[in-house]
Amino acid sequence: MSLSVYKVWDVPTRIFHWLNVVCVLGLMAIGTVILNADSLGVTNDGKVILKTTHVLVGYVFALNLLWRLIWAFVGGKYARWASILPFGSGYTEKLKHELREMRLGRTVNYRGHTPLGRIAVTVLLLTLTVQAATGLILAGTDVYMPPFGGVIAENIAAQGLDPSEVRPYAPETVDPEAYAQMREFRSPVIQTHELMYFVLIGLIALHLFAVVATELKHGGNIISAMFTGRKILNSPPADADE
C-alpha cells in the first residue's frame, strides 16, 4: 500500500482549532457550575467571580472565532469557505458518493473536509457564532461587562446613581422597573444560550465519535493532521484537483 503525505491545514487554522478547544472546554466547565450554582451552594460573590471568569474566557473564544471567520475569506485553500460550506459545484454528487461508499464499508479520502464533514463544520461554526453573540449580550445584562454593559447599566441604574456603581446581585443599585424590563429582554437570549450549550455538547460528542471511528477504521491521520498540518493517505484524495 502506497502512502502519500498531503499538506492540508495551515498554521492559523490549527491555532484556531486548539485555542477553540481550550476555550470551549473551559466555558462549558464554568457554565456547568453556573447552571448548578444554587444546588452547589455558591454565594452571590462566588457567582459574580464565576460569571466574570466565564466572560473573560468568552472574549478570547469570541475573538478567536471572529478571526477564523475572517480567515475563511483569506486563508489557505482548505481553510476557505469554498472548502467548508456544504454547497458549490458538484457538492451534491460528492455527498451522494460518500454516503454510497459508507454503506459499502468504504471511505473516500479528502485532503480537506469530506462532504459530510462540511455539513458538520458549518453547523458547528453556526452554533459557536450563536453562543458568542448571545454570550456577549449576557455579559452586559448579567455582570455589566463590555460591549453592552455600559449601556445596560445606564438604562437600569437607580435614580441619582452613577451607572458605574451598578453591581450584579445588588438590587439597591438598580431601578426595579427598568431592571425588570431588562430581564424580560434578556430572557430569550439566555434561553438560546443555554439551548446551544446542550446542542454544543451533542455536536462535540458526535464530532469526537466520527473522528475517532474514522481514524480507527480508515486511518488518514485526522487527529495528528490538526497538529502537523499534514495528512497521510493511502489513495489520492477526491479533492486533489480542486
Q: Is residue 41 part of a domain?
A: no
Does residue 40 lie within any of the structural domains?
A: no
Model pLDDT for residues 2-38, shown as the tens digit of each residue: 678 889 999 999 999 999 999 999 999 999 999 999 9
Instruction: Give the burial class of 14: count Cβ atoms within 10 A of its Cβ; 0-12 exposed, 13-18 middle, 19 or more buried.
Output: middle
* pLDDT 10s digits, 154-170: 999 999 999 999 999 99
**Alpha-carbon distances of 2 from 32, 220, 232, rounded to whole Å:** 47, 13, 10
Neighbours of 18 (CB within 10 A): 12
Residue 216 counted as domain residue: yes
Q: Is residue 193 domain-resident?
A: yes
Domain count within the chain: 1
Task: Determine, yes or no, domain membership for 45.
Answer: no
Check if the beta carbon of residue 230 is closer than 8 Å to that of residue 6.
yes
Q: Residue 26 domain-assigned?
A: no
Contact 66, 125 (CB under 8 A): no
Half-sphere exposure of residue 188: CA atoms within 13 angstroms, side-chain side: 2
For residue 228, give its domain range.
4-9+79-233
Summarize pLDDT for 168-191 with one digit per residue, the tens.
Answer: 999 999 999 999 999 999 999 999
pTM of the model: 0.92
Does residue 55 lie within any of the structural domains?
no
Q: What is the pLDDT of residues 183-241, one digit of tens each?
A: 999 999 999 999 999 999 999 999 988 888 877 776 657 888 999 999 888 778 888 66
Residue 189 belongs to some domain of the structure: yes
